[in-house]
Amino acid sequence: MSHDGNKDNSLNLLFTVTWKDDSVVLIDQTKLPNKLAYVRCKDYKEVADAIKNLVVRGAPAIGITAALGLALAAMHSKAETLNQLLADLDAAMKLLQSTRPTAINLFWALKRVMQTAKEKKSIDEAKKAILDEALKMLKEDIEINKRIGRNGAKLFESGDVVMTHCNAGSLATAAYGTALGVIRAAREEGKHITVIATETRPVMQGSRLTAFELQHDGIDVSLIPDTAVGFTMSRGAIRRVIVGADRILRTGHVFNKIGTYQVAVMAKIHKIPFYVAAPFSTFDFESNPEDIVIEERSKEEVTMMGNKRIAPEGVRVFNPAFDVTPPELITGIITEKGILKPPFKKELTLMGINHGKINPTKSTG
Ligand code: MRU
């Protein structure tokens, strides 16, 4: 991987993933907030490594990156028949899918680009179709985020102090963001919003990424330790909470960064509206809560801080990367198609059926 980059100065937006000179160019999020550096992935294996190692993270961003990774696999394939190409793509898809298990956007994006290849009659057509579709997804992602932003901004008033957890911003998408996109859109409407970002231990997406991104865009942000969520809410300092999602089930269960559930419980106790902002590509109309694999990450994320040990050697560690927020804690789910209100199950099941994702004749639990 080598360094390069892209930035839209007119909008001052960070572009997390782009396609340049037959490579996938990513903001290296492992270097933030100290350095805004870019890496260039020249083949799908480098893309898979970048996703696995959190160079790129956030549900929509990893979906788009993986789709572009598949385009690289197509481009470099030596296949001479369409079937051989599809077999090469299948192998690449399996590697990309194995990088992270929880965010559905990864699987959704790979399935979507793979499908376009399968519909083609020649190798050249299939190779072109994959790249075209992946680039279309990248462009669509920004448009969808802006729509989510406009829909959600209606819920926010000037002067609101809004808590967010993890990073569901430009850095978690192609650009603009979902939860932070709502805050951007509110600001574009002339509303003054102050953001309280949680640190989001142990990977610190809140302090390293959300604080960096909002400062970069000139949005008022303060940082609190995760442990200060309840106290800050109890002081009456927070008007609303907004977070992103890695997967939303038809039951309204939201899988998101570890700690989201605690924030939602606290919000409920303090009667603070708790919103989730996510695109339709984050919905999983088929699975039940117990089917979803929650990624568990290395114990070093918990026991070490940089090179410094912060827990005794040999201690047992449980380090889940995501948790589940049940629907009863959620005030609304903001999507590009509008705001879903509880009870979510009925509305979402209907949407799943309309999308052909749920077979209404079969029991889905
Ligand atoms: O482990 P990460 O950093 O990929 O987790 C990211 C999150 O949990 C985000 O909140 C989620 O993907 C929504 S991003 C729009």
> pLDDT tens digit string along 227-263?
999 999 999 999 999 999 999 999 999 999 999 999 9
Hey, what amino acid is at 7? K
Phi-psi region of 299 (alpha: psi -120 to 50; beta: other; left: phi over 0): alpha
Q: CB–CB of 115/67 below 8 Å?
A: no
**Average pLDDT for 324-351:** 94
pLDDT higher than threshold 80 for residue 6: no
Q: Which atom of ligand 1 is nearest to the CA of 103?
A: 12
- Distance, in Å, from the CA atom of 98 to the CA atom of 310, rounded to the nearest integer, reads 30
Residue entry with tokens 């992602």: 141
Helix (H) or strand (E) holding 14: strand 13-14
| Each residue's pLDDT tens digit, 306-318 | 999 999 999 999 9
Tens-digit pLDDT profile for residues 153-177: 999 999 999 999 999 999 999 999 9
Q: Is residue 274 predicted with pLDDT exceeding 70?
A: yes
CA-closest candidate to residue 65, choices 172, 205, 176: 172
Q: What is the pLDDT of residue 361?
A: 64
pLDDT of residue 34: 98
> Facing residues of 7 across strands?
14
* Identity of the residue numbered 79: A
Average pLDDT over residues 347-360: 78
Residues 80-120: pLDDT tens digits? 999 999 999 999 999 999 999 999 999 999 999 999 999 99
Query: How close is the Cα of 123 to the center of ligand 1, in Å?
Result: 35
Q: What percent of the chain is predicted at pLDDT more than 90?
A: 91
Residue 364: per-residue pLDDT: 47
Per the CB < 8 A criterion, the answer to whether 61 and 282 are in contact is: no
Ligand 1 contacts (CB < 6 A) are 57-60, 103, 166, 168, 172-173, 178, 205, 244-246, 256-257, 321
| Span from the CA of 61 to the centroid of ligand 1 (angstroms) | 9
CA 244–ligand 1 middle distance (angstroms) = 7
**Residue 123 · residue 85 · CB < 8 Å:** yes
Name the residue at shortest CA distance from atom 8 of ligand 1.
257
Q: What is the pTM of this model?
A: 0.95
pLDDT at residue 353, rounded to an integer: 76
Q: Decide if pLDDT at 44 tops 70.
A: yes
Atom of ligand 1 nearest to the CA of 244: 13
User: Does the pLDDT at position 329 exceed 50?
Assistant: yes
In the predicted structure, residue 11 carries a pLDDT above the cut 70? no
Assign 213 to helix, strand or coil. helix
Residue percentage of the chain with pLDDT more than 70: 95
Residue 362: band (very low, low, confident or very high) from pLDDT cuts 50, 70, 90: low
Q: Which residues of 62-101 are buried (b: 16+ CB within 10 A; e: fewer)?
A: bbbbbbbbbbbbbeebebeebeebbebbeebbebbeebbb
CB-CB contact of 225 with 214 (8 Å): no
pLDDT band at 348 (very low <50, low <70, confident <90, very high): confident
Catalytic residue numbers, as ranges: 246
Q: What is the mean pLDDT of the chain?
A: 95
Q: Cα(20) to centroid of ligand 1, in Å? A: 25
User: Of all atoms in ligand 1, which is nearest to the CA of residue 243?
Assistant: 10
